[in-house]
Structure 1
Amino acid sequence: MELRHLRYFVVLAEELHFGRAAERLHMAQPPLSQRIRDLERELGVTLFDRTRQRVRLTEAGALLLEHARPILEGSEAAREAMRRIRPGAAGVLRAGVPPDTVPLTLRTLVTTFAERVPDVLLELHELTTEAQLAKLREGELDVGLVRHPCDTVGLISGPVVHRRLGVILPERHHAAEHEVVRLRVLSGSPLVIFPREMAPRLYDHMLATCRDNGFLPGAIRHARNPQFVHGLVLAGLGVHLNEPPAGALPPGLVWRPIDEPRLTWSTSVVWRPAHSDDALAAFAAAALAGLHAADHT
């Protein structure tokens, strides 16, 4: 019996839905179904009752769940202990940050962390929210800075900092004349947004909020790099929802606040329960300082 098969089982037992469980595990649904069938054959029991309408734990499944959770928690504690004594690992904090983190936030985070724990090396990784969550659960990161809403089941989350979004427009766009843009005024305009796989729950939340406010994009275009985003908007190929720019926008673009408070970058530090020390506390405090510094620009 492999630990990864137990983890697949526990996630499915928590979700009781193959699609949601596969999404949490960052895998396709058919391989997950096959791994569960393999586990059932190995144990000689049926772990789930499956119908078209629902998935339900059997008595054997409920019993295995009682044993599987402590096993997984113990393996994570052992992994953490080994990581801490591995040569070169001591004194290093592996942290994830979103690719679009503004320079002022990064500068404040790094300098504040160094002031608090000068003997710890901060190893920063530029990762999307989904990639951070996956690496945290696999023990490849110690702490992350993620955007909500996202799946933080099994992780600890610090205070959430909210930064309201506005819209970046070509200066010739009709909505650029408004001091505060109502989302419904943008209806029909294409929307430039990050790819869904970067943060699925946030992506869905943003599109649902736009729809609720009468903003139905004429098309959706995906972009990660801020320069590419600005180029698309400048070319008239869409509008883009984002926080106030940290510096000057390219000529021909403007940023305007919008009338929907639910559209925010909601960001917090997350970490695994087995990992809690002074370096992590220092990172959490430094990240909050960085987020608040950007909020006062």
Structure 2
Amino acid sequence: METRELRYFVAVAEELHFGRAAERLGIAQPPLSRTIARLERRLGVALLERTSRKVSLTEVGSVLLAEGRAILGAVAAAERHTRRAATSRPGLVLATKAGASGDLLAKLLEAYAAEPGAVAVDLLLCESQPHRPLRDGRADVALLHQPFDLTAGLDTEILATEGQVAILPTWHPLAGRSCVRLAEVTSLPDLPPARWPGPGGAYPEGPGAEVHNQTQLFQLIALGRTTVVMPESSRAGLLDGLAAVPVLDAPPVTTVIAWPPRVRSRALAGLVEVATRL
């Protein structure tokens, strides 16, 4: 199996749409379709179920998606680590969503810097999907939030669990409540829920505003265009004119530190140890 075939398959599996996958890869759709069909014939299995209306993963395809992400991430990481070794500058790249985990991130960086043998930690602030730099080799480690970020195929350690709050403009009737239910927030006709890009970068269908970072999101909420349910720690970055109301039945959010599987690095192990200690 070639890495090119894996890249093509992972793109289709994440987009669940051949046209979007081809656009993402920068190729025409016919050769992409032929490559996936050739891969299925060689493996002797169906990786995708295709109808005139949709594309979905088979159970076997889900297995290859997880393995393919890990393999492609390992290849990219090997290239980056080799280049870094030539610079004689040891270090780590930590990916996190911009505006998220602010207090935890600051404490982690300060505590790790005080450790004997600590290396430089460069931050990669992502607008969304901070798990992706781990898979494509741009980052060594990431702070992720379950269930929003994909952690399948990554090694993780749990750092914290918290509830969620609805972020609303202060003038909205729900903003004065002590708590709300999830259905009350997600069914507001005047404030449709914000839409984040999916794993492949495409936005789900819906009336809510398309957002790509927390700063833009908060501005849109303050303008009365959308709303969102987020981890309770997001209170720290609220703008004037916004209120955070606890959502009683929203699932808890778990913050984890994650890294690619089978990675053995003393610097990475030290950073993970400090994170779990905090």
Cα gap change, 1:224 to 1:7, in 2 (>3 Å): closer
Higher radius of gyration, 1 or 2: 1
Instruction: Report 1:82-101 matches (<5 A).
Output: 82-83=82-83, 85-88=85-88, 90-101=89-100
- Letter of the structure 2 residue corresponding to residue 259 of structure 1: L
- 1:255 aligned to which of 197, 221, 244: 244
Task: Judge conservation of contact 2:73–2:134 (CA < 8 Å) in 1.
Answer: no
Alignment of 1:53-132 (within 5 A): 79=79, 82-83=82-83, 85-88=85-88, 90-128=89-127, 130=129, 132=130
Distance 1:55 1:103 in 2: 36
Aligned-CA RMSD value = 4.9
User: What corresponds to 2:65 in structure 1?
Assistant: none
**1:254 partner letter:** A
Tell me if structure 2 keeps the 8 A contact 1:170–1:252.
yes
Which of 192, 201, 211 is the aligned partner of 1:223? 211
Matched, 1:188 2:189: yes
Could you tell me the TM-score, scaled by structure 1's length?
0.65
Gaps of at least 5 residues in structure 2 are 61-67
Letter in 2 for 1:146: L
1:32 offset after TM fit, Å? 7.6
Q: Which residue of 2 aligns with 1:4?
A: 4
CA contact (8 A) 2:73 2:260 kept: no
In structure 1, distance between residues paired with 2:136 and 2:123: 17
CA distance in structure 2 between the aligned counterparts of 1:256 and 1:55, rounded to whole angstroms: 38
Shift of 1:175: 1.5
Q: Which residue of 1 aligns with 2:158?
A: 159
- The structure-2 alpha-carbon separation of the partners of 1:84 and 1:230, relative to structure 1 and needing over 3 Å to count, comes to closer
Q: Does 1:37 align with 2:34?
A: yes
Mapped contact 1:40–1:47 kept (Cα < 8 A) = no
Give the Å deviation of 1:23: 9.0
Alignment counterpart, residue 19 of structure 1, candidates 16, 32, 44: 16
Cα deviation, residue 121, structure 1 = 0.7
- Once the two structures are superposed, residues 105-143 of structure 1 have per-residue CA deviations (whole angstroms, 9 ceiling, x without a partner) of 22112101112255411011102453x433322322211
Letter in 2 for 1:167: A
Match status 1:148 vs 2:137: no
Q: Which amino acid aligns with 1:255?
A: A
Aligned to 1:135: 133
Kindly state the Cα deviation for residue 220 of structure 1 after the two structures are TM-superposed. Answer: 1.0
Identity of aligned residues (%): 22
